[in-house]
Amino acid sequence: MFCCLNQIAYYVGLFVIGLVAVKFGFYVQRNFFRKGYDVHERYGKDSWILITGATAGIGLSLAKYSAKVKGLNVVLLGRNQEKLEEAEKEVKAANPKIKTKTYKFDFNNNSGYESYLKISEDLRDLDISMLVNNAGYMDLRPILTLKEEVMEQVTQTNINGLSLLTLIFAKRFAKRDKRSAIVNVASQAGYAPLPGNAHYGASKAFVRSLTKAVGYELRDKLDMLCFSPGFVTTAMTINKTGPDVVTSDDCCHCIFRDLGYETENQPSTLHEFVVFLVSPVLLINENLPNLVLSPMMGQEFKRMEDLRNKEK
């Protein structure tokens, strides 16, 4: 009996070590050797990238990076005209040679298909080859204190708007000769049910599922990437900082590096490691991560409430 158990443990151990070694190999390859595709070659010379929520945070960083490092023309979509103009100036300054355009649009009061289709129609003269569904909203709090209108905003922006734009641009991109790309910004909040931030977490689980399913269906024409960072220092987190937090500028390089190679990625080694740890725990029991996540969201809520109260 003991001999068998020993042997089983031995082979299970070997299997796990093998898996970890393969994972680590991919990690090294991705982070130290991968160059990323030449976007002009792959998606079309002098084509445009359309970024939603480009007035702040990750969207603004990505707009500047796309212009400066990738030489892409940029459409910035946002809901605030002044912020859009300010952001456009920053993008122009990052690379005066590229073209820019702004598009004012608020996901909160545009729920219908027609208003999203109009975005694509208004931009029909631009050879858009990349869409980044980045606009998102979060109000991290216990469900009983979540206002219904905020819940609707999160649904409109994170789920409805993202879905419709994915559909409209997938159809548009299917007609291009070259390949095209859609990057949907999800979050680590979408990996496991997230007590204390339940609806936002669910919206990001939706983004992860949609992006990977559509990405597989349309793999012959489209590179689809789900970008799922942990905490990022932006307005959304009220400028959260810490050893586990990355900046919005840290988010840009890995998106272009992995586009066309991966279906989902994270911006840092630590964020990758969290995913690596969470996946087997979820396999054991779906509720197990709650033991860590629930108190973590509680602390986060308290930190943000304190900051909001101080501002008042």
Ligand X SMILES: *[C@@H]1O[C@H](CO)[C@@H](O)[C@H](O)[C@H]1NC(C)=O
Ligand Y SMILES: NC(=O)c1ccc[n+]([C@@H]2O[C@H](COP(=O)([O-])OP(=O)(O)OC[C@H]3O[C@@H](n4cnc5c(N)ncnc54)[C@H](OP(=O)(O)O)[C@@H]3O)[C@@H](O)[C@H]2O)c1
Stretch that binds ligand X, among 47-55, 106-114, 120-128, 141-149 (CB under 6 A): 106-114
Residue 187 touches ligand Y, criterion: CB under 6 A: yes
Choice from 29, 31, 80, 239 touching ligand X (CB under 6 A) = 239
106 binds ligand X, rule: CB under 6 A: yes
Instruction: CB nearer to ligand X: give 117 or 238.
Output: 238
List the one residue from 119, 231, 271, 304 that touches ligand Y (CB under 6 A).
231
Does residue 232 touch ligand Y according to CB under 6 A? yes
| Amino acid identity, position 217 | E
Residues 6+ apart with CB under 8 A from 20: none
262 is a contact residue toward ligand X (CB under 6 A): no
CB 201 within 8 A of CB 194: yes
Residue among 167, 274, 270, 154 at smallest CA distance from 224: 167
| Separation CA 241–CA 290 (nearest Å) | 23
The answer to whether residue 238 forms part of the interface with ligand X (CB under 6 A) is: yes
Closest separation in Å from C-beta 251 to ligand Y: 8
Distance CA 155, CA 141 (A): 16
Question: With CB under 6 A, what is the number of residues at the site for ligand Y?
Answer: 29
Question: What are the DSSP E strand ranges found in the chain?
Answer: 48-52, 73-78, 100-104, 128-133, 180-185, 222-227, 232-233, 246-247, 264-265
Of 79 and 199, the one with the shorter C-beta distance to ligand X is 79
Q: Give the one entry of ligand Y, ligand X, none that residue 47 binds, where binding means its C-beta sits below a cut-off of 5 to 8 angstroms depending on kind.
A: none
Of 56-64, 141-149, 261-269, 278-286, the segment contacting ligand Y by CB under 6 A is: 56-64
- Asked if residue 229 binds ligand Y (CB under 6 A), the reply is yes
Q: Looking at 204, 216, 310, 312, which residue is catalytic?
A: 204
Interactions with ligand Y, residue window 72-101 (CB under 6 A)? 78-80, 83
134 binds, among ligand X, ligand Y, none (CB under 5 to 8 A by kind): ligand Y
Footprint on residues 13-52 left by ligand Y (CB under 6 A):
none
Distance CA 84, CA 90 (A): 10
CB 293 within 8 A of CB 196: yes
To the query of whether residue 204 is one of the catalytic residues in this protein, the response is: yes
Q: Residue 95: left (phi > 0), alpha (psi -120 to 50), or beta?
A: beta
Q: Taking each helix axis as running N to C, give the angle between helix 198-217 and helix 162-174, from 0 to 180 degrees, rounded to the nearest 10.
A: 10
User: Which one of 7, 80, 109, 285 is in contact with ligand X (CB under 6 A)?
Assistant: 109
Q: Is the dihedral of CA 114, 117, 119, 124 positive or negative?
A: negative
Kindly state whether residue 250 participates in binding ligand X, applying the rule CB under 6 A.
Answer: no
Distance CA 211, CA 163 (A): 9
Q: How far apart are the C-alpha atoms of 261 and 36, rounded to whole Å? A: 8
Longest dimension (CA), the chain: 74
Within 13 Å of residue 55, how many CA atoms lie on the same side as its CB?
A: 18
> Is position 200 annotated as part of the catalytic site?
yes
The listed partner (ligand X, ligand Y, none) that binds 102, CB under 5 to 8 Å by sort, is none
285 binds ligand X (CB under 6 A): no
Pick 236 or 255: Cβ nearer ligand X: 236
Please give the residues from 127 up to 186 whose contact with ligand Y meets the rule CB under 6 A. 134-138, 157, 185
Contact positions vs ligand X (CB under 6 A): 106, 108-109, 238-239
Give catalytic residues, as residue numbers.
Answer: 200, 204
Contact positions vs ligand Y (CB under 6 A): 53, 55-59, 78-80, 83, 106-108, 134-138, 157, 185, 187, 229, 231-232, 234-237, 248
